[in-house]
C-alpha cells in the first residue's frame, strides 16, 4: 500500500467531551465523518460497522447508512459479506443487508483461510464444520473446536478430546501424534506444543524446533517468539537465542517491526533491537487496520503507525473535510 493510499484511510476517532465517534483522515486532520456514533470500527470492503442507540449498522465512506442499525453485533465486511447477530442468533448478510445465510446459528466466523465465501458454524449436535452460502458442507461437522485455515490449508481443530491439524477436507494431518498437546496453530512455520506442563515449538514436519522448556510460548512472528519463564517474558529466535536481554511482564508477537510489551502495569512498543518506540504508559491497545493500532491512555486515544513507527494524535477536530475515501 502506498503512503498516499494509507494516508487516505479514515481512522475512527472519539470526540473529547461528547464521547461520540466519527472518522478523521490522518493527513487532513479534519473530521471526514462527524462524530455522531456510540461506537465505530475500521472501514473494510468499503463499509464500516457503527453503533447508534445500542444497535449496529453499516455506513459508507460518505457517512451514509447503507444498512440501518438493527444488529446486536456486526463483524467487518469481506468480499461482500459480513457476519451479524440479530439479537437471537447469527447469520450472514450481503452489502444490501439481505440475509444470505439464515439467522439460525449460535455462532459463525468467517474463515479467511478457506476459499471465500465460507463460514465455520457451530451446529449439528454442537460440532464445528464449514459450509458455503449454498449450504454445501466443505468440512464435516465432527469437531469440538475449529480455528481458521492457514496458507497451507491446515487448521487446528479438537477431535475426540485432543488437538489435531486438519486439511480443508477435514482429514487429520499425520506426523504430530508424538509431539504432545498442540496448543496454538502455525505462525510463520512454527506451532506451539505443550509437553509435561512446558511449551515449545514444532515445524510442519512435526520436528521439535524449540524444546518444551518454557512456561508459556506465544506465536512465532518476524523471526522472534515471545516466551515466559516464571514471571518474566522475553524474546528468542527459533534457536532459543535472545537478541536482547530486556524482560517484560507480558509480551506479544512482532508485527511490521514492532511489538507491544507490558512493564509495570502499562504497555509500550519496542523495535527488533528491544529499544522503546513508545515508553510504557499505554493502558490498552487495539484493534488495528493497515498498520494503524489504536492506543488508549485512560479516556484519550491515539494511533501507532507501525509502518512509519510514530504515534498519531488527532486533537481538536472541528470541521468536516471533503475526504470521503474509506478503505
Q: Over the stretch 140-186, which tens digit does the pLDDT of each residue have?
A: 999 999 998 998 999 999 999 999 999 999 999 999 999 999 999 99
In a domain, residue 324? The reply is no
Mean pLDDT, rounded, of the chain: 90
* Band of pLDDT at residue 290, cut at 50, 70 and 90: confident
Please tell me the predicted confidence (pLDDT) of residue 108.
86
More confident residue, 322 or 136: 136
CA–CA–CA angle 38, 39, 45 (5° rounding): 140
Can you read off the three cell numbers belonging to residue 34? 462527524
pLDDT above 90 (res 244): yes
More confident residue, 82 or 107: 82
Helix or strand or coil: residue 3? helix
Peptide bond into 117 cis (omega under 30): yes
* Band of pLDDT at residue 223, cut at 50, 70 and 90: very high
pLDDT above 70 (res 320): no
In a domain, residue 318? The reply is no
Consecutive H or E run containing 32 = strand 31-37
Give the range of the structural domain holding residue 57, as residue numbers without chain letter.
42-312
Averaged pLDDT for residues 107-130: 77
In a domain, residue 104? The reply is yes
Please tell me the predicted confidence (pLDDT) of residue 323.
39
Question: What tens digit of pLDDT does each residue of 81-96 get?
Answer: 999 999 999 999 999 9
Query: 308's torsion region: left (phi>0), alpha (psi -120 to 50) or beta?
Result: alpha
Q: Are 109 and 83 in contact (CB under 8 A)?
A: yes
Question: What tens digit of pLDDT does each residue of 229-243 get?
Answer: 999 999 999 999 999
In a domain, residue 249? The reply is yes
Consecutive H or E run containing 83 = strand 81-85
pLDDT above 80 (res 281): yes
* Band of pLDDT at residue 9, cut at 50, 70 and 90: confident
In a domain, residue 105? The reply is yes
CATH code assigned at 191: 2.130.10
In a domain, residue 166? The reply is yes
Please tell me the predicted confidence (pLDDT) of residue 211.
96
* Band of pLDDT at residue 208, cut at 50, 70 and 90: very high
In a domain, residue 243? The reply is yes
Least confident window among 45-54, 117-126, 257-266, 313-322? 313-322
> Number of structural domains, the chain?
1
In a domain, residue 93? The reply is yes
Please tell me the predicted confidence (pLDDT) of residue 325.
36
Q: Are 45 and 59 in contact (CB under 8 A)?
A: no
Q: Please report, rounded to a whole number, the percentage of residues in the chain having pLDDT higher than 90.
A: 73
Question: What tens digit of pLDDT does each residue of 173-194 get?
Answer: 999 999 999 999 999 999 999 9
Amino acid at each position: 500500500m502506498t503512503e498516499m493510499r494509507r494516508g487516505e484511510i479514515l481512522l475512527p476517532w472519539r470526540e473529547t467531551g461528547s464521547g461520540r465517534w466519527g472518522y478523521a483522515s490522518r493527513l487532513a486532520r479534519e473530521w471526514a465523518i462527524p462524530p455522531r456514533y456510540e461506537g465505530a470500527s475500521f472501514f473494510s470492503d468499503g463499509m464500516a460497522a457503527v453503533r447508534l442507540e445500542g444497535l449496529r449498522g453499516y455506513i459508507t465512506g460518505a457517512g451514509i447508512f447503507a444498512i440501518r442499525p438493527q444488529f446486536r453485533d456486526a463483524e467487518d465486511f469481506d468480499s461482500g459479506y459480513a457476519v451479524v447477530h440479530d439479537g437471537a442468533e447469527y447469520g450472514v448478510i450481503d452489502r444490501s443487508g439481505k440475509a444470505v445465510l439464515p439467522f439460525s446459528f449460535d455462532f459463525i466466523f468467517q474463515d479467511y483461510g478457506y476459499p471465500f465465501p465460507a463460514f465455520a458454524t457451530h451446529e449439528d449436535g454442537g460440532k464445528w464444520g464449514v459450509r458455503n452460502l449454498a449450504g454445501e458442507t466443505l468440512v464435516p461437522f465432527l469437531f469440538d473446536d475449529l480455528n481458521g485455515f492457514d496458507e497451507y490449508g491446515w487448521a487446528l481443530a479438537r477431535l475426540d478430546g485432543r488437538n489435531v491439524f486438519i486439511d480443508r477436507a477435514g482429514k487429520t494431518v499425520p506426523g504430530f501424534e508424538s509431539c504432545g498437546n498442540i496448543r496454538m496453530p502455525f505462525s510463520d512455520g512454527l506451532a506451539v506444543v505443550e509437553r509435561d506442563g512446558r511449551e515449545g515449538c514444532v515445524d510442519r514436519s512435526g520436528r521439535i524446533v524449540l524444546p518444551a522448556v518454557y512456561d508459556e510460548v506465544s506465536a512465532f512472528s518476524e523471526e522472534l517468539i515471545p516466551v515466559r519463564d516464571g514471571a518474566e517474558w522475553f524474546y528468542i529466535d527459533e534457536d532459543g537465542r535472545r537478541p536482547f536481554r530486556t524482560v517484560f511482564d507480558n509480551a506479544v508477537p512482532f508485527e511490521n517491526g514492532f511489538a507491544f510489551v507490558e512493564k509495570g502495569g502499562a504497555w509500550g512498543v519496542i523495535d527488533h533491537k528491544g529499544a522503546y518506540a513508545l515508553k510504557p504508559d499505554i493502558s490498552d491497545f487495539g484493534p488495528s487496520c493497515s498498520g494503524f493500532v489504536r492506543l488508549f491512555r485512560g479516556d484519550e486515544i491515539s494511533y501507532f503507525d507501525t509502518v512509519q513507527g510514530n504515534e498519531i494524535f488527532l486533537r481538536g477536530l472541528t470541521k468536516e473535510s471533503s475526504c470521503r475515501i474509506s478503505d
